[in-house]
Structure 1
Amino acid sequence: MNRLANETSPYLLQHAHNPVDWYAWGDEALQKACDEDKPILVSIGYSACHWCHVMERESFENETIARRMNELFVCIKVDREERPDVDAIYMEAVQAMGVQGGWPLNVFLMPDAKPFYGLTYAPAQNWYNLLGGVREAFDTNREQLRQSAEGFAEHLNTSELARFNLTEGDPIFALETVETMYRKLATRFDTEDGGTGRAPKFPMPALYGFLLRYADLTGDASAYNQLTLTLNRMALGGIYDQIGGGFARYSTDRHWFAPHFEKMLYDNAQLLTLYSEAYTLTGNALYRDTVYGTIRFMERELLSPEGGFYSALDADSEGVEGKFYTWSAEELQTMLGDDFEWFEKLYTITDEGNWEEGRTNILHRTETNPAFADQMGWTAEKLETKLAYTHQKLMAERDKRIRPGLDDKMLCSWNGLALKGLVTAYRVFNEPDFLQTALRLAFFIRQKLTDSRNGGRLWHSYKMAPNSMPGRAKQLGFLEDYAAVIDGYLALYQATFNEDWLTEADRLAQYVFNQFDDVKTENSDAPHDPLFFFTDKSGEELIARKKEVFDNVIPASNSMMAHNLYTLSLLLDRPQYAKRVDQLLGQMQSLLEGEANYLTNWAALYAIRVRPTAEIALVGPDVQAFRREIDARFFPNKVLAGTEGKSGLPLLNLRTPIDGRTALYVCYNRACRLPVTSVDAMWEQVG
């Protein structure tokens, strides 16, 4: 076993038996490279990465290749999910070299950790030859490589202001600007199968969160149609586990049929929020079923005994991608008997198999439950009964199979996303179990991922220990951890009106200002940049300190913080928070108008700001009943504050029930209208 045996990351532990003399990222390895004047090989991946496993089998488990790696380099293995800061730096460096990014990411560094060459997957013989070539270049062309590495390091340290030509300015919130953003996005829509572009297709929840808000804001039928087309196809396609619930990371084809079977917590967490919100706009029962199925999957396969959620499930089992999830027609016929005939039609099963891996089938659908029931001449209730029976049978059989590997580390940011998703589902569907799971998760974050001995800062990663030993939290939290957890706490406050969660959200926001802000020295001529750094100023100093701007499969931490600060500014009357939001949006506006494809969570906040946000205060004995009635309707331009008695919160202070009845106060920009005692009357005031 190598040094990785002492790590907590399942991905690093997977490599603990490699003959490669791996180090984890840290001072020991970096100092060794300097002391021995040796180049560094950093190999970055994650536990559910298919091609990472392939490269391990072909190269890192090969004694001959490992011997060459050990002789020529200091070899460092990095879990990108545990160290997103390291991954972001070297991914950007490789892209600057003209290489398309991806994982496994293999980067060669000078002894001072500055990169000079990188690539993704390489077959074993190519990798063996490359190792020798890179080391020879290091030995014979050191000065040239040094200059190249200095150039890449200089690129990495170029500010976002300079790189993207961001300038200070006041945001101009105009409907025309939002329409410009939408038109830019619409040029990439697949109007036949949903999503954007061709293949592969990723769910991209932030994009459809923007479409939700844009369709609601403008009434644009094309936006509504693209939104519902995409959500329908994803929920019916193979990317969604039709038997067990939950979404795979992406579809390898344009039809959402054949997934890359790994299941990630961050996708499923965000899709809970998206499908729950979409249900309030559309009333589509498919979206409700998708939310319920996804939560069942998360609780069954990702929920830890301590209340936090594990990170991911592998795509492979027994060395075969998708083996756990696919079926032969013969298997299904044997198990289902008379039910096979209709099941075969609904899930498009064929004897030859509908997937490339032999005679196997991916279960996917083209018909919704109501449409298929009509086709078969059944009632909706009859189909539901049959589906429950057959799914239960198949799940019992599937549970006998060898399971995909589980990445059982718990990441703070992803659990924050899960908290938001669970709370949103509770607010929409009023399922008490959803709230109980959410509360248990929130307490897990406070107890296991919050460092109470050091000012209540967050940890990024937590791993349970075997044999009931205390678990281990490690790695100082990143901006994404604070942004996601604050968002989850704000949602939880607006669902429960327990002010502890609002207080904790504000405390974390103040920590962000103290530790992540780009504070200029008094003598600096550089303009103030309102974007926050990704890393805590108390954390490890890398070759560059980055800021996350662009939204991806997870929104940028800066865009999440902008949403959070806007909500906090309204709930707590924090003008300084509102000012920072305007600075951020003002700086981003020109980029938003030109590059909305990569800034959809920013665009969603911009769309909210086009019209005033309703500050709704509920006071009296029925605040929860009124809250449920309000949350049943899609209306993102609101914040909710509530109390059954008295509260010192700005929106609730000095507000009282009316003749013992619960009162609703609608306020805009701190000016309130006359209180009313029904939600219908409240909606009339909101307009």
Structure 2
Amino acid sequence: MLNRPIHASNLVFRMFATYKNRLGLEKSPYLLQHANNPIDWYPWGEEAFKKAKESNKPIFLSVGYSTCHWCHVMEKESFENENTAKILNENFIAIKVDREERPDVDKLYMAFVVAASGHGGWPMSVFLTPELHPITGGTYFPPDDNRGMLGFPTILNMIQTEWKKEGDNLRKRGEQIIKLLQPETASGDVNKSEEVFQSIYSHKQSSFDSRLGGFGGAPKFPKASDLDFLIAFSSADSCGDKSKESTTMLQKTLESMADGGIHDHIGTGFHRYSVDGEWHVPHFEKMLYDQSQLLATYSDFHRLTGKKNEDIKFVINDIFEYMQKISHKEGGFYSAEDADSLPKNDSKEKMEGAFCVWEKEEIKKLLGERKIGSADLFDVVADYFDVEDNGNVPRSSDPHGELKNKNVLRKLLTDDECAANHYLTVEELKKGIEEAKQILWEARTKRPSPHLDSKMVTAWQALAISGLVKAYQATEDVKYVERAEKCAAFVRKYLEENGELKRSVYLGGEGNIEQGHQNMKAFSDDYAFMIQGLLDLYTVLGKNEYLEKAIELQKTCDQKFWSGNGYFISEQADEGVSVRMIEDQDGAEPTATSIASNNLLRLHDILENDEYREKANKCFRGASERLNKFPIALPKMAVALHRWQNGSTTFVLVGQFESELLVEARRRLNEKLIENLSVVHIRSENEIGASGPSHNAMSQGPQPAVYMCKGFACGLPIRSIDALDKLFNKL
């Protein structure tokens, strides 16, 4: 589904009969963006490595992604510059990597850049020996020397000179650096989960912005892993009164995000982050993984708070509508939309946010003389969305002046306040605002579209599946779970082969699905997130095919990535990646090990196989130092640790799926957010859910029946709606 020609910018490179460099033969939208640079770029692979060794030239490795703003800046300033290209081509082997295709390459060299400079980011610029060992590196480099920073040409000349003089020493030093980047294999005891929980909660509490929501100051990121931790904390039996404080922090943050400019009120969905502390002026990039995780977060919060806030339900649908806009017709979701776009069709230069922002007169002209009751629709909209004559973006949030006289729409008033200002009912207000939003959206579709990264990454399809399942649980609207199943079918058709997952596929010129030129093997996050998504589908639908596929993928994941105390990012090192890294921080996305540890515990709940539980324990022991000293780095693993130490709440539903008792049980399970929930569906003793001894015994008992097992003990079978009501009322 595409509501506008959103993918057109991906196809521009395909119109050229020839390319200036090898990247023109790639599928990655990011690599294709650089296909016409005068630089003799190579993709990551043996051809480049061999050339570097034969020519004895150092490697310049540039890593980024297609919707990265500063990647675009460095391309325009440096990679399109003929003089800079001449220096690079004569003295270096230039390699370009899409970090979303190769997270293993990105993680290895980002670890070096952070260790060397104290910070990281994209574009990542690293100089390597021909053996792929680090020399030096950084992020964005300006095109010339200014404001105390060395320009990119100066750095190139310095590295080239040093390589000629000190090449052997640089090789030796790089070899030592690579050894230092090897992940630690320590394993130890982990603190009680209550201590870990309290440490993370105290950190979030101390940084909470009670006035504006969120944590810390500018910039503010909607970090789903942290928000999900607070949801788990709020629902934990052991957290007492602090759970209410946690819920308050969540509500303020989620409502402020939904009201702020980080939320695209006209185009739907959420931007990457806000550059200020008010959730007002965003970095306008939109990522699928943000939408998917925030869909899950808002949905879980809706269940946590008893589904009492209709505005939260509205946000859930809003995110879903955006995801539909970046959806392939067969069910996959594209990766991201760029922050930058052309202000007008005849413009020469892209500007950040051009697709999303408004001048006051433009809105006034579009809305014309329309009325809401006795009020002018324009006056109401200007009040509702904080529209100002000279724009509402402060200069401090717009250092390059790209948003001068522009308005980033946001809500500063409640619906009641705005309605009262214009002598309207809230219902009249909402109707008028929806009419205005549709008019503004239609106008926006006539603007030049931002670039769409049409790559479809397995891990992010999986996050979408989980988010959609949770949206179904929160709203009972079947459109969400139907969409989740459609995405799962897409993965099965295009991103799985011979029982193994692939990393990504791409949108072809005719709207078809294309495979990459390289063998895009999946990474551990692809497996962990997909197993989670399949278990989520099994939880609400009870289809054995999802459980069986999750078990199969878990086996493959263990074979490919298990380190003994966690999950490596990649398979056995190849193509020059000499160090297999383990992701150790739940960042914009959670780590594979964090999600896998919870998956293992869920599989144990369903199958009663202690091997899963023991493997999860090894994950916690492998991360013991972080969980004990810096647990804020691993909030999702902390939730899994709490599950391991305190046990799950497992409902076993035995009997025909459509029996009145089991239908009601599933409805009640969706209605309430239950701490560490697992659900087992058993229609007969031959099903895989009945393979464990306790569940097998239940399968041979009376039917239909509902069993609740909590804290490693199971209750008597429940066989009536009245008894079911009493049970859920106690939860």
CA contact (8 A) 2:649 2:674 kept: no
> Would the alpha carbon gap of residues 538 and 305 (structure 1) be closer, same or farther in structure 2, given more than 3 Å must change?
farther
Aligned residue in 1 for 2:707 = 665
CA contact (8 A) 1:181 1:594 kept: no
Aligned residue in 2 for 1:592 = 627
**One-letter amino acid matched to 1:275:** Y
1:311: how far off? 0.3
1:653: how far off? 3.5
CA distance in 1, matches of 2:698, 2:416: 47
1:136-188: CA deviation from partner (whole Å, max 9, x where unpaired):
0100122332233123212112x323xxxx4323x454534422332133333
1:385: how far off? 1.2
1:468: how far off? 6.4
- Larger deviation: 267-276 or 589-598? 589-598
Aligned residue in 2 for 1:321 = 352
**One-letter amino acid matched to 2:251:** T
1:646: how far off? 6.0
1:29: how far off? 0.2
CA contact (8 A) 1:476 1:539 kept: no
Q: Percent identity?
A: 35
CA distance in 2, matches of 1:182, 1:607: 14
1:538: how far off? 7.5
Aligned residue in 2 for 1:7 = 26
CA contact (8 A) 1:172 1:586 kept: no
Correspondent of 1:32 among 51, 74, 81:
51
1:657: how far off? 11
Correspondent of 1:345 among 383, 392, 400:
383
CA contact (8 A) 2:561 2:571 kept: yes
1:477 pairs with 2:477: no
**One-letter amino acid matched to 1:347:** F
CA distance in 1, matches of 2:288, 2:512: 25
1:639 pairs with 2:678: yes
1:331 pairs with 2:355: no
CA contact (8 A) 2:196 2:631 kept: no
TM-score by length of 2: 0.87
Aligned residue in 2 for 1:130 = 155
1:204: how far off? 0.7
- Larger deviation: 103-112 or 575-584? 575-584
1:189: how far off? 2.4
CA contact (8 A) 2:133 2:178 kept: yes
CA contact (8 A) 1:549 1:557 kept: no
Which SS does the other structure have where 2:85 is aligned? helix
Aligned residue in 2 for 1:523 = none
Aligned residue in 2 for 1:580 = 615
Aligned residue in 1 for 2:147 = none
CA distance in 2, matches of 1:236, 1:625: 35
Gapped regions of structure 1 (runs ≥ 5): 519-528
1:273 pairs with 2:296: yes
> Would the alpha carbon gap of residues 573 and 367 (structure 1) be closer, same or farther in structure 2, given more than 3 Å must change?
farther
Write the mapping of 1:79-478 to structure 2, written as runs, cut at 5 A.
79-125=98-144, 126-157=151-182, 159-161=183-185, 166-169=186-189, 171=190, 173-217=192-236, 218=239, 219-220=241-242, 221-282=244-305, 283-300=308-325, 302-318=326-342, 319-337=350-368, 338-355=376-393, 356=398, 357-370=403-416, 372-373=418-419, 376-452=422-498, 456-467=499-510, 471-473=514-516, 474-478=519-523
> Would the alpha carbon gap of residues 398 and 445 (structure 1) be closer, same or farther in structure 2, given more than 3 Å must change?
same
Which SS does the other structure have where 2:502 is aligned? strand
CA distance in 2, matches of 1:595, 1:386: 49
**One-letter amino acid matched to 2:609:** R
CA distance in 1, matches of 2:713, 2:698: 13
> Would the alpha carbon gap of residues 402 and 469 (structure 1) be closer, same or farther in structure 2, given more than 3 Å must change?
closer
> Would the alpha carbon gap of residues 383 and 160 (structure 1) be closer, same or farther in structure 2, given more than 3 Å must change?
farther
Report how many aligned residue pairs link the two structures. 665
> Would the alpha carbon gap of residues 582 and 368 (structure 1) be closer, same or farther in structure 2, given more than 3 Å must change?
farther
Aligned residue in 2 for 1:627 = 666
Write the mapping of 1:539-618 to structure 2, written as runs, cut at 5 A.
540-609=575-644, 611-618=646-653
1:557: how far off? 0.9
CA distance in 2, matches of 1:148, 1:41: 17
CA distance in 2, matches of 1:564, 1:380: 44
1:236: how far off? 0.8
- Larger deviation: 602-611 or 8-17? 602-611
CA distance in 2, matches of 1:190, 1:470: 45
- Larger deviation: 44-53 or 385-394? 385-394
1:646-671: CA deviation from partner (whole Å, max 9, x where unpaired):
652137545469987x4211123664
**One-letter amino acid matched to 1:507:** E
TM-score by length of 1: 0.93
> Would the alpha carbon gap of residues 545 and 654 (structure 1) be closer, same or farther in structure 2, given more than 3 Å must change?
same
**One-letter amino acid matched to 2:378:** F
CA contact (8 A) 1:515 1:538 kept: no
